[in-house]
Amino acid sequence: EDQVTQSPEALRLQEGESSSLNCSYTVSGLRGLFWYRQDPGKGPEFLFTLYSAGEEKEKERLKATLTKKESFLHITAPKPEDSATYLCAVQSASGGSYIPTFGRGTSLIVHP
Amino acid sequence: NAGVTQTPKFQVLKTGQSMTLQCAQDMNHEYMSWYRQDPGMGLRLIHYSVGAGITDQGEVPNGYNVSRSTTEDFPLRLLSAAPSQTSVYFCASSYSSPASGGRVTGELFFGEGSRLTVL
């Protein structure tokens, strides 16, 4: 059974204080790992897809990296508008399964 | 560009009432799904569909019904609402891609959500 564990559950940062969110996963062959951002009262919004260990993707102050067991979402010099819940999901390459499995998310608050 | 549209955004029901949450997408995506999101539980898959006429159960299907008569629409029916069904419901769609081996990609497009309260 695919499993996704995100840590920490909640993170408070000061504006400009860089940090990382962690997504540990167990999957029978990784087809893809996905990061989403969810603002309060909204649906999740897709950020990145990572397919293989060593891959990196960047978007503004966010950089996602992938190893064989975990992914990190690095936030450089965050701003208050980066406050949101960040969700990680994995998609297995085994059998006919293609339904992504989601973690419970990390709630990020960036204080001005 | 509408993307995924859910209605209603808010609904209050009494125990035992029935209702339908509507979901429509205009991206010609073959894959559509329904999730519920509860505090501390994350997103849990209720039902999904890989194309018109094809539906399957997810992790928490009990008490919910779906159908997929067209590519665009994927309604979720609550036949007899219970307080345990109080939640925020999200509809999501996706497409198949060569990068995902020709299968449905995990890049999901979500609606804005429907907040349901059952008294």
Residue B109 forms contact with A (CB below 8 Å): yes
| Helix, coil or strand: residue B41 | coil
Q: Which of A30, A87, A102, A106 to mutate to test the interface with B (most CBs of B within 10 A)?
A: A102
Chain A partners of B103 at a C-beta cutoff of 8 Å? Answer: 31, 98
Instruction: Give the strand pairing for A10-14 and A106-111.
Output: parallel
Residue B108 forms contact with A (CB below 8 Å): yes
Predicted pLDDT at A95 = 59
User: What is the C-alpha to C-alpha distance for residues B67 and B55, in angstroms, rounded to an integer?
Assistant: 7
Tens of pLDDT, residue by residue over B33-84, are: 999 999 888 899 999 999 999 999 999 999 999 999 999 999 999 999 999 9
Tens of pLDDT, residue by residue over A35-69, are: 999 999 999 999 999 999 999 999 999 999 999 99
Average pLDDT, chain B: 93
User: How many percent of chain A have pLDDT more than 70?
Assistant: 97
User: How many percent of chain A have pLDDT more than 90?
Assistant: 85
CB contact under 8 Å between A46 and B109, yes or no, is yes
Inform me whether the pLDDT recorded for A97 exceeds 60.
no
CB contact under 8 Å between B58 and A49, yes or no, is no
Predicted pLDDT at A96 = 58
